Amino acid sequence: MARLPQVVRKEPTRSTRSPRRPPRRGGGRRARSVRRVLRDRRQPVKVRVDSERCQGHTLCAMIAPEVFRLREIDGHSEVIDEEVPAGQETQVIEAVNSCPERAISTID
Ligand code: SF4
């Protein structure tokens, strides 16, 4: 009777990430800046829109209409007031994270 070859099972790897890219610690630069804004809430949060990057997707104005408005000329976004009104910080952070062009930034 012929012997069947023994099947050797490999141990599953712990991570499916590419070995070239090490895992990010703490969520990357964008998450760190959001955390910094949340931490320093006592100081007024300032926000700006990079008009070179903005493509007028309107997401920011829908998320935070008290902070962003769209220009009638080109439909691009601009901030109504650089200083974010109290109670609008969460919406601004959501707008920062939602902007597909990464055009919105907060100023510490
Ligand atoms: S979401 Fe970004 S790209 Fe869209 S209008 Fe606002 S700033 Fe411009």
Quick: pLDDT tens for 57-86.
Answer: 999 999 999 999 999 999 999 999 999 998
Tokens standing for 14?
A: 């712990």
Architecture per CATH, 46-107 = 2-Layer Sandwich (3.30)
Q: Strand 46-49 relative to strand 104-107: parallel, antiparallel, unpaired?
A: antiparallel
Residues flanking ligand 1, CB < 6 Å:
49, 54-60, 76-77, 99, 101, 103-104
pTM score, whole prediction: 0.64
CA of 43 to the centre of ligand 1 (A): 25
Q: What is the mean pLDDT of the chain?
A: 81
Q: How far apart are the first and last CA of the chain?
A: 77
User: Mutation test of ligand 1: which of 99, 102, 105, 106 has the most ligand atoms closer than 8 Å to its C-beta?
Assistant: 99
pLDDT band at 5 (very low <50, low <70, confident <90, very high): confident
Q: Where are the domains of the chain?
A: 46-107
Task: Say how far apart CA 42 and CA 63 lie, in whole Å.
Answer: 22
Q: Is the pLDDT of residue 90 over 80?
A: yes
Query: Two tokens at 89?
Result: 């910080």
DSSP at 17: S
| 8 band by pLDDT with thresholds 50, 70 and 90 | confident
